[in-house]
Structure formats: structure tokens, C-alpha cells
Structure 1
Amino acid sequence: MQTLLFDETVQAIADASTGPITYQPGVISPALASAWFSALRDAVDWHASARMMYERMVDVPRLHTHYTIDDPGLPDVLREALAVVGANVHASFNSIGLNFYRDEHDSVAPHNDKLHELVPHQPIALLSLGATRTMVIRRKLPPHLKTELELEAGSLLLMGWNAQLHYDHGIPKLRRPVGPRISLAFRVRPTRASETWGG
């Protein structure tokens, strides 16, 4: 079972029976989070996309891109971020998905990661940069317990493979102005899957 290395600031959202899901603020400093955000915002080749929903094509409400860790074009910032995440989570991450939420209108609908696109029993780690956004984590089975978690810059959210069976997670749109946010999603992928999911 992969967990965040022990730290008294770690908040448990779900235990090992349905997760784990844990949240740790302050994994990197605000200054470093700001520097990494600026570097990735300006240097990454961000992509817009569309997908079929309700029998029509709709724009995905965020920008995204993806790297494998053996990509020769992997930005130095992502190598540094991988080292930080690897120091906190025991997993052989080989995939980094980036999502850019430009403002309060960008979002990701409630979802769980597709298990066939993950190596079994390996975790997902989300490192947040930029503005704080709310992640809604909802239990799939009744009584559909819900947690609203404020993902601060420099924080790390860990979701166990098992959590994808029991919980959905999403970033809702907001009615108040909010600044841009970048999330880095570290996964252990089979050698083929591409990155499209958010966090």
C-alpha cells in the first residue's frame, strides 16, 4: 500500500479500505510553487481539446499536456517536481499529466481514473501550483459522503488505486473570480496510455 511518508500535517480523507486518499499542504514552499507555476505556464505547449458529450462536441474546459519521464523534452521543473514527489510517495511514476485551469470557468467534471490506464495498485499523486481550487471528493455508494478539499499551492494529494473504485473527484467551476492553477498528476502508466484526465 502506497502512502505519504509520515508527517503530522497529512490529512486522511479516506482510509485504506476504500482509498487511501491523503492530503499534505506545504510539500514545497510558496515561493518555489510560484516559480514552478510561472515556468510551466510560459514554457509548456498547452493543448485545447473537445470531446463528445450529450451527442455534441464540447470544448474541454481547461488546457492540458502530458509527458513521460523518459521524454528528452521533459522540462527541468518537472524533473525537480518528480524528485520532490518521489521523496514523499513510494512509487515508480512514469507519467506526468498537466492541467491548466485558467480561471474560475475552467473545471473538470466528477470522475475516477480509468483503471485499465493505470498499473494495478499504484497511486496517483497531484501536486498543485497557482491559485487554490476546491476539489470535491464523493463516495460512489450511498450515503454518497462528500469532502470539499482546498488544494493549496505546494500541496500534495495522494489517491490510492483502490480509491478509483470507491470515489469520484472533480474541480467545479466557481461563481467568484479566481486566478490560474496548474496541477501535476503523477501516475504509473502501462507503456501505452495517454493523459487526458484532470485533477
Structure 2
Amino acid sequence: MQALLFEPNVQRIADETTGPITYQPGVIAPDLAASWFAALLQGVDWHESSRMMYERMVGVPRLHGHYAADDPSLPKVLGAALGIAKAQFRAPFNSIGLNFYRDEHDSVAPHNDKLHELVPHQPIVLLSLGATRTMVIRRKTPPHLKTELELEAGSLLLMGWNAQLNYDHGIPKLRYPVGPRISVAFRVRPGWSEDGW
């Protein structure tokens, strides 16, 4: 089965000065993306979590999972996806985070990744599987430019390390029904070894 489509269309959201941020739809063939979604839906140990907000504990509106890239229990699908991400972007990704958006009520608030948890100047790459969801990318400084990006199944979104300084990104709740989506995030974390942190 063909994993990669030829000559993916690259959309540039931000340049090297403030990013980069690029979006590539159709990197993973539709049939393969659908099979990966099904495998991860059943094969990942999904967790719920809570966080303090407005002086009370609230549930995080999505499920999540995590693997080190060298984890012996890494699902085969994630190993294949990791290989594609490394080949596409030439980065030594060692951490794989997953978010499961069950429906239109699940979301993630606008945020940027914490720079102390990332190796400087290494990118973050997001693989989308399942239903299309809108990501809102907003520049932090005036003129606060905003992009609403439709993240399709089989697409890859690259955010440069520098982009975390200049942009917030989030997945808003929706007012209409939408199917489930899985986001797979490849990062380069500092201090990782074969045994983790």
C-alpha cells in the first residue's frame, strides 16, 4: 500500500522570520490514514486528565497518550508514522504525543508549546488522522494575524521552534457535529535516553 503521495502541496503559514509554519495535505494516502486511525483508536492507552482553571479542577476536553520513540511497546503504526516524519523533516524526533478529539465538544485552548520542554531549533510536526478539524493560528504581536487551517486526515503540519515564540495555536469547539480525530505530535525533547527522562 502506498504510504506517501507524490509532491505534496505545501502551504506556508509563516516564514522563517517568525516560524516557519507549513501545512502539507495528502502526505499519507487516504486508505492508509484511515487504517492508522482505526489502529490507534483501539491500540493506544488513552487517558483522561484534569487541570486547575479558574480556581477549580476541570476535565481536559480530550483524551491523550504518549510514547518515547524508542519505547518497545510503540505501536507499529506510530513507528511507521515516525519514519515518515523523520524522512520528511530530517529531525531526530524522540517523543510522540497523541490527542484524541472524540467529537465537536473536545478542543484545546490557544497556546504555544513550552520552550524549556523542547530542544532549541527543532520542529514540532503534527499528523492528523480521522475527521477534519479547524486549527486557529494567531500571531501574538500586532497586527495579530489569524489563520484558520483545516487539518485533513493524512496531513502534516510543521511548526518551527521559533514559531512558539510568535504564534498561539488551538483547536476550538464546534457548534455542529463532527467525527473523531487523532493528532499525533512528533517532538524532540531534551534529556531523553533509551530509558526516557
2:106 & 2:175 partners in 1: Cα distance? 11
Provide the residue aligned with 2:15 in structure 1. 15
1:186 & 1:38 partners in 2: Cα distance? 19
User: Once the 2 structures are TM-superposed, how far is the Cα of residue 43 of structure 1 from its aligned partner?
Assistant: 1.0
1:125 & 1:32 partners in 2: Cα distance? 19
Provide the residue aligned with 2:101 in structure 1. 101
2:27 counterpart letter in structure 1? V
Provide the residue aligned with 1:59 in structure 2. 59
Secondary structure of the equivalent of 2:127? strand
1:88 & 1:43 partners in 2: Cα distance? 25
2:53 & 2:74 partners in 1: Cα distance? 32
Provide the residue aligned with 1:118 in structure 2. 118
When the two structures are aligned, how many residues end up with a matched partner?
A: 187
Secondary structure of the equivalent of 1:79? helix
User: Once the 2 structures are TM-superposed, how far is the Cα of residue 8 of structure 1 from its aligned partner?
Assistant: 6.1
CA RMSD of aligned residues (A): 1.1
Does 2:138 correspond to 1:138? yes
User: Once the 2 structures are TM-superposed, how far is the Cα of residue 84 of structure 1 from its aligned partner?
Assistant: 1.2
Secondary structure of the equivalent of 1:27? coil
Does 2:34 correspond to 1:34? yes
The question of whether the paired residues in 1 share the 8 Å contact of 2:8 and 2:26 is answered with no
TM-score normalised by structure 2 residue count: 0.93
Q: Percent identity?
A: 79
2:15 & 2:177 partners in 1: Cα distance? 34
2:128 & 2:103 partners in 1: Cα distance? 15
1:8 & 1:177 partners in 2: Cα distance? 29
1:29 counterpart letter in structure 2? A
Provide the residue aligned with 2:71 in structure 1. 71
Secondary structure of the equivalent of 2:51? strand
Does 2:180 correspond to 1:180? yes
2:176 & 2:29 partners in 1: Cα distance? 26
User: Once the 2 structures are TM-superposed, how far is the Cα of residue 191 of structure 1 from its aligned partner?
Assistant: 2.3
Provide the residue aligned with 2:153 in structure 1. 153
1:144 & 1:57 partners in 2: Cα distance? 31
1:41 & 1:85 partners in 2: Cα distance? 20
Alignment CA distance shift 1:72-1:8 (3 Å)? closer
| Segments of 4+ moved more than 2 angstroms | none
1:162 & 1:116 partners in 2: Cα distance? 13
Any stretches of 5+ residues in structure 1 without a counterpart? 1-6, 193-199
2:98 counterpart letter in structure 1? L
1:191 & 1:51 partners in 2: Cα distance? 25
The question of whether the paired residues in 1 share the 8 Å contact of 2:137 and 2:167 is answered with yes
Alignment CA distance shift 1:142-1:57 (3 Å)? same
Deviation track 1:119-148 (CA, whole Å, cap 9, x = no partner) reads 000000000000000000000001111000
Provide the residue aligned with 1:170 in structure 2. 170
2:68 counterpart letter in structure 1? T
